[in-house]
Structure 1
Amino acid sequence: MQDIPDSLLNLLGQNAALIVLAVVLFMAISSAVRIVPQSQKFVIERFGRLRAVLGPGINFIVPFLDRVAHKISVLERQLPTSSQDAITADNVLVQVETSVFYRIIEPEKTVYRIRDIDAAIATTVAGIVRSEIGTMELDQVQSNRAQLITRIRESLANVVDDWGIEVTRAEILDVNLDEATRAAMLQQLNAERARRAQVTEAEGKRRAVELAADGELYAAEQQAKARRVLAEAEAYATATIADAISKNGLEAAQYQVAMKQVDALAQIAEGQGKQTLVLPASAMDAFSDAFALLKGRAS
């Protein structure tokens, strides 16, 4: 085997050095450039300490000194639906199902201040729910669910702020009761419905009585008005006759008496069956006087 010339060895040594340098430069550039996706943030450490938080886009770090310690997603997250028992102010045991949505806005706080963020939020929510429901009666829990959700969200936001988290939504999915309480509430609801039906029926009867009384009162008022009109008419007729008597004297009075007698005889004649009228002579004289008066008025 022939010996390798010194010139060739030198050339190979130079090429190897260039190759190593190229590899080192490539690795340095690769480690210095960090491309962060839009949905993430990178937490950079230098010698185990927080150095920076990289946002979306192209970022540069010091190669071989800085490293990406954590890649944190900033997308909104949903905790698994959890259920916790709580006791209301009126000592009713309820089971509340909750759901929480959140997102990480400050990764440096999240990774260095809390280990299991989901478990921490779930435990905090359970404590807040029990505390808030303990101040409310069952009816208030059922009717003021929106207000309860707002209070839970505000209390949770104050707690998780130190963890670099923003609570976007907090929902109460359901409030369940035990069977005994549910049966008691159903019985109470049926009793309330029966009471309302009785009240409605009583009000209907009372309204009917009021309407009947109003009708009778209206009829009485109309009858009174009719009597008043008739009395006024009779008074007017009496006044007219009195005036005529005062002007015409006895003749007007005799005329009125004769007309009354004629009307009475006409009513008797209109009766059913055959009737025989026996008139006294004075009646005939009255007719004669009436006719004479009529004739005199006509002339």
Structure 2
Amino acid sequence: MDQILAQNLPLLLLAGLILLVVFLAVKIVPQSEKYVVERFGRLRSVLGPGINLIVPFVDTVAHKVSILERQLPTQTQDAITADNVLVQVETSVFYRILEPEKTVYRIRDVDGAIATTVAGIVRSEIGKNELDEVQSNRSTLIATVKEQVAMMVDDWGIDVTRAEILDVNLDEATRAAMLQQLNAERARRAAVTEAEGLKRSVELAADGDLYAAEQSAKARRITAEAEAYATAIVAEAIADHGIESAQYQVALKQVEALTKMGTSNGSQTIVVPAQALDAFGDAFRMLKGRG
């Protein structure tokens, strides 16, 4: 038995060596990772997901790098706005490693480096804007921060997928001052609204008076035009028919006046002027003459 084992020992060793070579040469890389392979301490290649072959005993997998998206812990840093207001800014950054050969050889602490870069860029960008602009234009500020961070970390083989400014906090003194300013602004707007309403009311009243005056003037003008028209008719009648036409009109007016006096309420006695009979006679005579 020992003799058989001794005879087959080289074969067993050779089989074991072959298995070891295969084990060392074949590398199965998961979908979420990339392997950085070194040869004698120098970068040889980067293995992607799937089955890969390397030279055993010569090439070694020096780094296994995850290519999943990562989120940095929420960072809080102080910043001063352009109008000298101290704020505390909470930021969060998401990134992916695209070129692990750059990441592992150019930067030691990726998370710390990105956090420091983000803090510096956020302070710089907030210092260019006043507090109101920081609050109202946060989306623009976030886009600028993301662009600046992406440019800074490009040499590290990193893609910044998202940079967020989660909150901008103020100290209590600044909050109280802003609240007082807000209340003053609301009071000012209320006073302006009330003044504008009073002004509008006065304007409407003036417009109403002007409209009434215009309508009254128009009515007087129409009355004057009517009277002028009547006068013109009488003048034309006098011109066409002579003085008799005028006397006829006067006689008719006298008759109408006497008729109204007789039909008025409370009038039980009719006063007939001495010329009344003459007026009736003249009217009937002229009427007969016209017929």
TM-score (norm 2): 0.95
- Give the structure 2 partner of residue 147 of structure 1: 140
- Give the structure 2 partner of residue 258 of structure 1: 251
Instruction: Kindly state the Cα deviation for residue 291 of structure 1 after the two structures are TM-superposed.
Output: 2.2
Are positions 1:42 and 2:31 aligned together?
no
Are positions 1:118 and 2:111 aligned together?
yes
Instruction: Kindly state the Cα deviation for residue 116 of structure 1 after the two structures are TM-superposed.
Output: 1.3
The aligned amino acid for 2:86 is L
Identify the match of residue 98 of structure 1 among 91, 94, 97. Answer: 91
Q: Deviations over 1:138-193 (max 9, x none)?
A: 11111111111122111111111111111111010000000110011111111111
Instruction: Kindly state the Cα deviation for residue 219 of structure 1 after the two structures are TM-superposed.
Output: 2.0
Q: Which moved more, 1:82-91 or 1:263-272?
A: 263-272
Identify the match of residue 161 of structure 1 among 137, 154, 157. Answer: 154
Identify the match of residue 69 of structure 2 among 45, 54, 76. Answer: 76
Q: Which moved more, 1:259-268 or 1:142-151?
A: 259-268
Q: Secondary structure, in 3 states, of the residue corresponding to 1:281?
A: coil
Q: Which moved more, 1:209-218 or 1:35-44?
A: 209-218
Change beyond 3 A, Cα 1:189–1:219: same
Following the alignment from structure 2 to structure 1, what is the Cα–Cα distance between the partners of residues 189 and 260? 63
The aligned amino acid for 2:210 is L
Equivalences for 1:236-251 in 2 at 5 Å?
236-251=229-244
Structure 2: any 5+ residue segments left out of the alignment? none
Identify the match of residue 20 of structure 2 among 19, 22, 27. Answer: 27
Q: Secondary structure, in 3 states, of the residue corresponding to 1:226?
A: helix
Instruction: Kindly state the Cα deviation for residue 270 of structure 1 after the two structures are TM-superposed.
Output: 4.6
- Give the structure 2 partner of residue 286 of structure 1: 279
Q: Deviations over 1:175-222 (max 9, x none)?
A: 000011001111111111111111111111211222222222222222
Following the alignment from structure 2 to structure 1, what is the Cα–Cα distance between the partners of residues 168 and 202? 46
Following the alignment from structure 2 to structure 1, what is the Cα–Cα distance between the partners of residues 264 and 64? 121
Are positions 1:296 and 2:273 aligned together?
no
Check conservation: 2:261, 2:267, Cα contact below 8 A: no
Following the alignment from structure 1 to structure 2, what is the Cα–Cα distance between the partners of residues 269 and 96? 101
Following the alignment from structure 1 to structure 2, what is the Cα–Cα distance between the partners of residues 119 and 179? 31
Following the alignment from structure 2 to structure 1, what is the Cα–Cα distance between the partners of residues 63 and 109? 14
- Give the structure 2 partner of residue 213 of structure 1: 206
Instruction: Kindly state the Cα deviation for residue 93 of structure 1 after the two structures are TM-superposed.
Output: 0.6
The aligned amino acid for 2:33 is Q
Are positions 1:178 and 2:171 aligned together?
yes
Following the alignment from structure 1 to structure 2, what is the Cα–Cα distance between the partners of residues 266 and 182? 90
**Deviating 4+ runs (over 4 angstroms):** none
The aligned amino acid for 1:156 is V
Q: Secondary structure, in 3 states, of the residue corresponding to 1:180?
A: helix
Structure 1: any 5+ residue segments left out of the alignment? none
- Give the structure 1 partner of residue 191 of structure 2: 198
- Give the structure 2 partner of residue 67 of structure 1: 60
Change beyond 3 A, Cα 1:182–1:269: farther
Query: Identity of aligned pairs, percent?
Result: 72
Instruction: Kindly state the Cα deviation for residue 275 of structure 1 after the two structures are TM-superposed.
Output: 4.6
Following the alignment from structure 1 to structure 2, what is the Cα–Cα distance between the partners of residues 222 and 179? 64
Instruction: Kindly state the Cα deviation for residue 123 of structure 1 after the two structures are TM-superposed.
Output: 1.1
Q: Secondary structure, in 3 states, of the residue corresponding to 2:153?
A: helix
The aligned amino acid for 1:285 is D
User: What is the count of residue pairs matched by the alignment?
Assistant: 291
Q: Deviations over 1:114-137 (max 9, x none)?
A: 111111111111111111111211
Q: Which moved more, 1:29-38 or 1:266-275?
A: 266-275
Following the alignment from structure 2 to structure 1, what is the Cα–Cα distance between the partners of residues 225 and 237? 18
TM-score (norm 1): 0.92
Following the alignment from structure 1 to structure 2, what is the Cα–Cα distance between the partners of residues 80 and 166? 17
